[in-house]
């Protein structure tokens, strides 16, 4: 494993856990860089320095065209959603778009029932795909990178996860749009967000649900993370069972927090032993794909530093399970859906 990734995993600073029902979030804090080297997508869109549109008038489902007119690179995070144009999309990987540049980026559709212009260009939807959608997408993108050096996803599996989300939340969208589920549950999520305030200098989070890792995200700039925090937290809250909506936030469950902490440290130890493949990113830097025994993910590395790290469970973290890695994750999904 690249030293910068290993050292990052070895030095992540976890703050005290925050909890709502069975959802536990460990804020990750870090020291701000002496100088900002990139902006978040939300910042760039708010300032008008970045434009995203279809690659042509007719459009192409797995690709979008990005124009960065600004003087700084822009970070587009894996799973971040863009809304408008012919249909809503999410980023297939974390991409750093260079200043003063044009770039075609790989995306997946999150709105199955629409293929018609809603707006000329895309806007920031304010959301990041659920952890299940990101996990499934990341899995297929990793497989396509290894097989064909392609950042395309399995679009069918993304739609399947969004359909499952609609079923679990009992939200029906006219165009099967993931964003419609978020909108329908926004009121309850606003109340739940109170349990997860952003720490000063927070630059990431690790999420444990029922004592199992659901996901981990870290970015190198806490100022960029300011614009990602609520997006990331909502990507977990949107799928929290409805029974939690009527309950007040749960705090101070010392035994629960201790066990969750132990689980998370086991996950970080596992991730440090990951096998690694390196691919040229569509934008700046290199995309490192990580596969450990019980976890997998990716890291964007630019100028010898990690810009973004994301990790997911490849299966339950119980060591007695006989199947490991991507194959085990697929088998578990088949069993769950049987």
Read off the tokens for 261.
């902490």
Which DSSP category does 30 fall into? -
One pLDDT digit (tens) per residue for the chain, 338 residues: 789 999 999 999 999 999 998 899 999 999 999 999 999 999 999 999 999 999 999 999 999 999 999 999 999 999 999 999 999 999 999 999 999 999 999 999 999 999 999 999 999 999 999 999 999 999 999 999 999 999 999 999 999 999 999 999 999 999 999 999 999 999 999 999 999 999 999 999 999 987 788 999 999 999 999 999 999 999 999 988 865 444 444 445 665 567 778 878 888 999 999 999 999 999 999 999 999 999 999 999 999 999 999 999 986 444 333 333 344 444 444 544 44
285: which residues sit within 8 A by CB, 6+ positions away? 96, 300, 301, 302, 303, 307
- Parent domain of 136: 3-337
Place of tokens 């029902």: 21
Q: How many residues does the chain have?
A: 338
Alpha-helical regions (H) of 28-175: 41-47, 131-148, 155-169
- Inter-residue contact 140 to 333 (CB < 8 Å): no
The helix-helix angle for 325-337 and 131-148 (nearest 10°) equals 130
Q: CA–CA separation, 261 vs 211, rounded Å?
A: 9
Tally of structural domains, the chain:
1
Q: CA–CA separation, 200 vs 181, rounded Å?
A: 30
């Amino acid at each position: 494993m690249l030293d910068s990734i290993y050292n990052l995993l070895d030095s992540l600073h976890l703050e005290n856990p925050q909890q709502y029902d069975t959802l536990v979030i460990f804020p990750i804090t870090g020291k701000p860089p002496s100088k900002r080297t990139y902006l978040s997508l939300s910042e760039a869109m708010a300032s008008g320095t970045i434009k995203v549109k279809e690659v042509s008038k007719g459009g192409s489902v797995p690709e979008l065209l990005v124009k960065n007119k600004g003087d700084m690179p822009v970070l587009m995070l894996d799973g971040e959603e863009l809304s408008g144009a012919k249909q809503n999309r999410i980023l297939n990987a974390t991409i750093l778009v260079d200043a003063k540049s044009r770039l075609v980026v790989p995306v997946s559709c999150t709105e199955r029932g629409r293929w018609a212009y809603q707006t000329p260009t895309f806007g920031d939807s304010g959301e990041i795909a659920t952890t299940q959608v990101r996990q499934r997408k990341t899995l297929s993108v990793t497989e396509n990178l290894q097989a064909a050096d392609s950042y395309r996803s399995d679009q069918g599996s993304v739609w399947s996860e969004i359909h499952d989300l609609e079923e679990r939340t009992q939200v029906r969208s006219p165009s099967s749009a993931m964003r419609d589920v978020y909108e329908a549950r926004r009121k309850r999520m606003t109340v739940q967000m109170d349990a997860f305030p952003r720490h000063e200098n927070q630059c990431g989070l690790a999420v444990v649900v029922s004592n199992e890792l659901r996901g981990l995200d870290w970015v190198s700039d806490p100022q960029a993370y300011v614009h990602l925090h609520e997006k990331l937290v909502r990507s977990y809250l949107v799928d929290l069972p409805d029974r939690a909506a009527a309950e007040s936030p749960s705090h101070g469950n010392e035994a629960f927090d201790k066990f969750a902490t132990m689980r998370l440290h086991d996950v970080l130890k596992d991730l440090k032993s990951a096998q690694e493949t390196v691919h040229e990113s569509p934008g700046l830097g290199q995309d490192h794909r990580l596969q450990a025994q019980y976890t997998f993910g990716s890291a964007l590395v630019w100028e010898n530093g990690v810009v973004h790290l994301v990790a997911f469970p490849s299966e339950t973290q119980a060591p007695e399970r006989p199947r490991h890695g991507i194959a085990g994750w697929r088998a578990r999904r088949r069993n769950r859906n049987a």
